[in-house]
Amino acid sequence: MNDQKIEYELVLLLFPSLSEADTEAYLEKFKKEILGNISGEVTFKDYWGVKTLAYPIQKETSAHYVVVRFTCLGDKIASLDEEIRLDKNVLRHLIVRVEKGMNQITSQEREAWNQENLPEKKKAKGPVEKRASKHTRKPKAAAPVKEKREEVKPTVHEKLDKDQLEKKLDEILDGDLNI
């Protein structure tokens, strides 16, 4: 068994119904009880605040975002993951192993980077404008008014007797009839 501690980063999404004070209390409990059980140490903690989710999770559209870096033994991560998964305050979480050379970044540094590198439309904090989608239906034009036409009555053919019919048929077959 390896006694070397490994550094991990944990992103927690906590229910938005928690107040900021409740969130801080949860993080203290996490630090003392949960990490204490696995002999872990917090090296960095950053509270990002309440952010809107990209899609609803458990019918919630926003969450408290918290990033925590900690060290612990590698064989204790599975039990930590299980304990966080069962916690009723946690909406979603992700634990990743920090590779050597990965820098810690604070929320202020992240915001500064976003301001410098994201396009203007991404920086806007105001309400999102509705854009016309290519799938948006266009209003239908009014149906053209149909003109009334005079009713065309079918031509009435004269009744022919059997002899006249035979004579007409012979003319047609011979090609002598001018229609």
Residues 137 and 144: their CA atoms lie apart, in Å, by: 20
What is the per-residue pLDDT for 132? 54
> What is the C-alpha separation between 12 and 9, in angstroms, rounded?
10
pLDDT at position 146 is: 67
Assigned domain for 150 exists: no
Please give the Cα distance from 16 to 89 (Å, whole number).
9
Residue 42 structural domain: 5-102
Per-residue pLDDT tens, the chain, 179 aa: give them: 567 888 889 899 999 999 888 888 888 888 887 777 777 888 888 888 899 999 999 999 999 999 888 888 888 888 888 888 998 999 999 999 888 766 666 666 667 766 777 776 544 454 545 555 555 566 666 666 666 666 666 666 667 688 888 888 888 888 755 55
DSSP, collapsed to helix, strand or coil, labels residue 34 as: helix
Q: What is the CA radius of gyration of the chain?
A: 39
Distance of alpha carbon 101 from alpha carbon 129, whole angstroms: 40
Domain count, the chain: 1
- Any domain includes 33: yes
Prediction pTM value:
0.56
For residue 155, being part of any structural domain is answered with no
For residue 63, the model assigns a pLDDT of 93
71 in any annotated domain: yes
Residue 68 lies in a domain: yes
Residue 88 inside a domain? The answer is yes
Q: Is residue 40 part of a domain?
A: yes
pLDDT for residue 48? 87
Which CATH number do you get for residue 27?
3.30.70.60
User: The tokens 């009744």 sit on which residue?
Assistant: 159
CB neighbours of residue 35 within 10 Å: 21
Per-residue model confidence (pLDDT) at position 124: 47
Note whether residue 87 is domain-resident: yes
